[in-house]
A and B are shown apart, each in its own frame.
Chain A
Amino acid sequence: MDEKAEKKLRKGRAVKNNLFAMKLLWQICPSIVVHKGFSRFFGYFEWLFYSAFFMRYVINSLENGDSFGTIMVFVITVVVVEGALSLYDKILTGRIYPVAQAVVNKGLYRKLFRKARNVELSCFEDSDFYDRYTLAMEKADDRLIISVEAAFKVFFGAIASVCAFVFMYQVDAISVLFVLLPVIGNFVFNRKLSRIDFERNKDMAPHNRKIAYINRVMYLPEYAKEMRLTGVFALMKQQYHEAITGVGEVTKKYTKKAAILHWLYVMFTFTFIFEGLLIYGAYRTLVSRTMSLAQLSVITSMMVSTTWILIGFTEALTDLFKNGLFIEYLRTFLEYKEKIPEDTDGIDPGNEIRTIEFRNVSFSYKDKQVISNLSMEFRGGKTYALVGHNGAGKTTLIKLLLRFYDPTEGQILLNGRDIREYNLRKYRALFATAFQDHRMFSMTVAENVIMGADIPQEDRERSVTEALKLAGAYEKVMSLPKGMQTVLTREFDDEGAMLSGGEFQKIVVARAFVRKCPFKIFDEPSSALDPIAEAQLFDNIYDSCRDNTLVFISHRLSSVQNADWVYLLSDGTVKEAGTHGMLMEQNGLYADMYRKQAKNYLAISTDDVSGNGPSDRVFYSHPVEGGEFA
């Protein structure tokens, strides 16, 4: 929580934000808004009634010598009304709130999910946006309700405070002056204390973050091996000690000031009004004899409840500002204007890819140019390999192609039309992609392969079987207790299967196989596979993509030879392009890379590797237009 944001909020957005929260909750579940309002009202009403009226009436009656029956009529009336209010309260907590909470959860999170699914991918990669967004998501349903509740608390708390003042004034005008003491205590000293708390928390945050980090390192299994093999445990222990010392240092800085403020706060808020009023009351009854016993007892109970009403009011006010920040994040997220909305409508791209062209495409990510003035072409039905150093921009290029990002400059054209003009969902459905960073969902293996693809029910098993076989995962999957119907991850199912990295990779690859898309993309599909599996996989990729356009990224240059066309990327642009044979003749970067890798397999000196490619495969000659690839 940075100071600037907080200050800005204090300056007026707080009210607007709370109205926003109220409106939002009203849209999702109007009944909870109404009930929260009513119950807050009744709560204060009861409180005031008991401290200001009930005791006064009873003691007055006793003093006036009213009959027991008269007093009892009053008491019974009160008890019955209280019973009714209590019943209402129990209906709220027993039935209405629990149900409403789930309704709010459903309504609010659906809105949030919709938005989260619709914003462009880069939002997730922008840490500022992402931090705020996770803050907005965390327990959003509870916090939205609390925000609205806090608003009611402030509203009715203010009214109740005024009423309390009026009642005290009625009993005794001067006693109201004593109420100034808790007002000072709350609004002056407690405010300052909160300020100190805030500052201290801010100073402690880095240390606490460190402690949390160490905690994670100590229990996550991925660190366990190194913890045993190296001295890194001593390092973590030292950091832990440093963090604890750091916390102590921070505390020291604030202790004295906070202790003094605390003393003042407690004295003003509780002690002075209390002892003061008692002495004042005793003086009025005993010395000047201008106050009755009933009035005195009312004043003693009024001062307690007035003080607590005031404290409740200030707390609600603080909550209001605290929630303000949460609502601010929630609001900015919900009102965020997507740059590439996932539901972008546009022309239907059809189901045929004739050409995809990158025309002078540049792309910057966080002010760093990742792709610069890149031009390339993919033709329908052909096979392409993307090669290059780590960080040359290969994966970014795929993301641009899939329209996860839009180019900063230049255009990407599908069949001659800018891809921004197409219906995004339909456009993306043209591609089947296997990325190297993969995620498994807590579903069956079959569902994890199909991933919602449009496959008729009766063909599913056959399709999944085929895809798993092509990816080389079929045997492993069938060795699981329930075969393809085994649930992956232990999220819900303690019997769920945990597979190794290589096996997960194969399932991701199977996802790309199962889809009947005209364009298939594989991003380093074999990095974790053994040589036999790798060789088999590449054969399968080539075979099964005969009718499709195929693009793959690979560090294994042997697998690249069979591609119709190779693009070598370096520094975010195409440095070399051609068939394997052409590039070897060109004797540039690609040839150097290839030779270095091939050298050890051939056990001959680098210069002898000609690498003419497999002779059994017919090469398409790829037309080079206008020296574009030069």
Chain B
Amino acid sequence: MKHVLKNQLFLWKLCFKTCPGYMIYHLYDGFRYQGVIFIEHVLGIRYVLHCAEYHEPFWKALLVIGIILTVNLLQIIPDGFFIHGWSYRCKPKLYRALKEQMYEKASKIDLSCYDDPSYYNDFVFAVAEAENSIDRFLSLSNMLVQALTILFTTGVFYLVTDAMGIVFVLASFVLRFFVSRVLNKLNYKVRLKVNPLERKRNYVSRVFYLNDYAKELRLHPEVGDGLEQEFVEADDNIIKERKKVGARRTILGFINGYVVGDFILDGLYITYLVFQAAVLHTIDYSNAVVLFNRTGSLRRGFGNLADIFPQAQENSLYIDKIRAFLAYEPRIEQDLGDPVPEGNSAISLDHVSFRYREDLPDTLKDISLDVRPGEKIAIVGYNGAGKTTLIKLLMRLYDPTSGVIRYHDRDIREYVPAQYRRHIGVVFQDYQMYGATLAENVVMNVRGQEEDAAVTEALINAGFGERLATLPKGLDTQVTTEFDREGVNFSGGESQKVAISRAFYMDADILIMDEPSSALDPIAEYELNKAMKSAAKGKTVFYISHRLSTTRDADRILMLENGRIVEEGTHQSLLDLGGKYARMWHAQAGRYTA
């Protein structure tokens, strides 16, 4: 209970800090809405009926209605601005206040969080629910004010006019509360059974409608038949589950809706009113009419109040996830540490081991390595030997489980990670294109015009020059059709060149290339390698490739197997050694030399 309140308070503080005026009006709006209804439907109608019943002078009725009209004319003026202006402007700001915190966090949490499925699911869930949780909070707070307004105004009216009415409404409310609980439990049980079936249904749906699978389904129509069968079965099972509880649901619904609802209020209460008016003459007609008409709204007021807590509880679960995510302390703090000295230096790995998760075996085992500044290192090996992991450690995307990596003779953990990483230009296999201009896709940051020349040069060095010349908007070309129909979707090879130009543009001391040429045809690969050679002059280079022709000129080749460096040396020395590298080389080159 306390926790639930605390969580709502967290959102209130956040929202109030972002748009204080809006939030206050938002609460006022709940009061205004129910207040006006009360004035019109209770006070107004009652007074006119009262005048009619007791033949009061007409001007009195006119005066009261006139006042109500004036109040109405005025109170609705800000309402339009609130609904059609303020909300549209403020809600995105409220969302942003929360989401920007989350994004900031997302860009800083350890990369290993993404490898942990349960953490990652929670994270995705928190991001997905951020906007909804604010929406729910806004509607809850408005509902609360509305319910309180109803209870206060109508409640007082009942107490003053005829207190017994409240007994009827309360009795109905309490009984409904208990029946609802039974009904909700039943519904929850059905939900649990139906959920996995719906998940299956949605999966099949997705397979049939995503274009990713369209080709596959045409090649293997039998798979489609099978999936369709599963879909039908899922639906049949849902039908079965729902039929099973149909009778119980109907009966509970009937008790809930009629027996303890309409029957008590429309049946018993009206009997009571008629009895009072016709037999006992203790209630006048105008009051009877208004009292009867208002049972509905009083019932809604109680109902809303009863709904608020479970809804707040549900919202609290979402807020928990959001707060847990925001409270996460990354092991690698992005902005803490010492500055990195200028200039390039040697990099050394000292008995470095690494595992992704405690319960998994080591991905890298006891790696020691000294790299001179400007040295060209090639890393080769089988799929899954740990090559990309080694690169990730060098970038400090992960910290070694044991051992130390040094740069400028200090443990890289002592530097500001963001600054340290700026010394390294990297091209990964799984680079991404962003919905931004081409120049921004190269700079990978907010861009200033003065950088144009450097961007163009980087693109040309990466072999993108010819394509650039064909783009009418040049560097300002919008990349991807994500939100610009005029945008350009580059082919795999072209995108790869853009990704490579990023590393060139950074002009970092260390250059890391992880299979940069895998998607390229032989000619493009050849040109890329030529460009790389000139752009990499003077830099330390790490190069991962399955195409051994591209790595043979390296100063040193590291052969990785099962997370260990098993062979190390120049191309020639490794060939002379006649070990695993030699075998690999012959497997690939043999086909050319045979």
Contacts and interface: CB of A to CB of B under 8 A. Distances in A.
Interface in A181-231: 193, 196, 200, 204, 206, 209-211, 213-215, 217-219, 221-231
Contact of B93 (A79, A244, A274, A404): A244
A199 to B, nearest CB: 12
A300 B221 contact: no
B518 interface: yes
A121 interface: yes
Given A209-B483, A601-B548, A116 B107 contact: no
B216 interface: yes
Interface string B62-102: 10010011001100110111011100110011001001101
Interface stretch (A92-100, A144-152, A169-177, A459-467): A92-100
Interface in B397-414: 397
A68 B587 contact: no
Interface stretch (A37-45, A260-268, A314-322, A619-627): A260-268
Contact of A296 (B52, B57, B249, B594): B52
Contacts of B108: 228
A441 B207 contact: yes
21 contacts: A59-B285, A82-B258, A106-B239, A110-B228, A116-B214, A121-B218, A209-B482, A215-B127, A219-B127, A222-B432, A223-B432, A258-B85, A263-B80, A275-B44, A275-B65, A300-B289, A402-B218, A530-B385, A530-B546, A534-B546, A600-B550
A236 interface: yes
Contacts of B436: 235, 239
Contacts of B114: 221, 224
A452 B434 contact: no
Nearest to A264: B80
Contacts of B577: none
Contact of B519 (A252, A297, A390, A529): A390
B219 A274 contact: no
A233 interface: yes
A233 B591 CA distance: 46
A62 B277 contact: yes
Contact of A62 (B224, B274, B434, B492): B274
Contact of A87 (B203, B254, B440, B522): B254
A137 interface: yes
B285 A62 contact: yes
A62 B216 CA distance: 76
Contacts of B324: none
A225 B242 contact: no
Interface in B141-191: none
Contact of B592 (A71, A89, A602): A602
Contacts of A78: 266
A293 B522 CA distance: 95
B226 interface: yes
Contacts of A296: 48-49, 52
A582 interface: no
Nearest to B117: A490
* Residue of B124, B426, B446, B493 with most chain A CB atoms under a 10 A cut-off: B446
A275 B80 contact: no
B219 A206 contact: no
A546 interface: no
B45 A390 contact: no
Given A231-B445, A425-B221, A527-B519, A286 B57 contact: yes
A310 B258 CA distance: 27
B290 to A, nearest CB: 9
A103 to B, nearest CB: 7
A300 B552 contact: no
Contacts of A215: 99, 127
Contacts of B219: 402, 428, 431, 433, 451
B397 to A, nearest CB: 6
A452 B519 contact: no
Contacts of B354: none
A354 interface: no
A131 B578 CA distance: 57
B522 A281 contact: no
Contact of B76 (A112, A263, A555, A592): A263
A368 to B, nearest CB: 13
B587 A531 contact: yes
Given A209-B482, A297-B289, A600-B549, A285 B52 contact: yes
Interface in A387-411: 388-391, 402, 404
A105 B242 CA distance: 14
Nearest to A281: B48
A247 B434 contact: no
B44 to A, nearest CB: 6
A617 to B, nearest CB: 10
A95 B266 contact: no
B223 A62 contact: no
A87 B258 CA distance: 8
A376 interface: no
Contact of A99 (B242, B251, B588, B594): B242
Interface string B373-392: 00000000111110000001
Contacts of B594: 613-615
Interface in B14-46: 40-41, 44-45
A532 B382 contact: yes
In the complex, which range does the number of interface residues on chain B fall in? 35 or more
Given A236-B103, A262-B83, A452 B275 contact: no
* Residue of B72, B219, B251 with most chain A CB atoms under a 10 A cut-off: B219
B253 interface: yes
Contacts of B124: 219
Contacts of B421: 228-229
B322 interface: no
A334 interface: no
B111 interface: yes
Interface stretch (A414-422, A480-488, A556-564): A556-564
B222 interface: yes
A276 to B, nearest CB: 9
A137 B205 contact: yes
A227 B278 CA distance: 77
B288 to A, nearest CB: 8
A230 B204 CA distance: 38
A286 B84 contact: no
Interface string B198-215: 011101110111011111
Given A68-B279, A282-B61, A275 B72 contact: yes
B191 to A, nearest CB: 11
B525 interface: yes
B445 A105 contact: no
B92 A601 contact: no
A441 B52 contact: no
A233 B103 contact: yes
B593 interface: yes
B546 A109 contact: no
B328 interface: no
Contact of B51 (A218, A260, A286, A599): A286
* Residue of A286, A492, A596 with most chain B CB atoms under a 10 A cut-off: A286
Nearest to B481: A127
A557 B57 CA distance: 105
A234 B445 contact: yes
Nearest to B396: A228
Contacts of A293: 49, 52-53, 285-286
B203 A137 contact: no
A234 B215 CA distance: 38
* Residue of A219, A237, A252, A615 with most chain B CB atoms under a 10 A cut-off: A219
A75 B271 contact: yes
Contacts of B201: 105, 109
B94 to A, nearest CB: 11
A275 B68 contact: yes
Nearest to A265: B80
Contacts of B203: 442, 491-492
* Residue of A91, A254, A492, A555 with most chain B CB atoms under a 10 A cut-off: A555
Contacts of B465: none
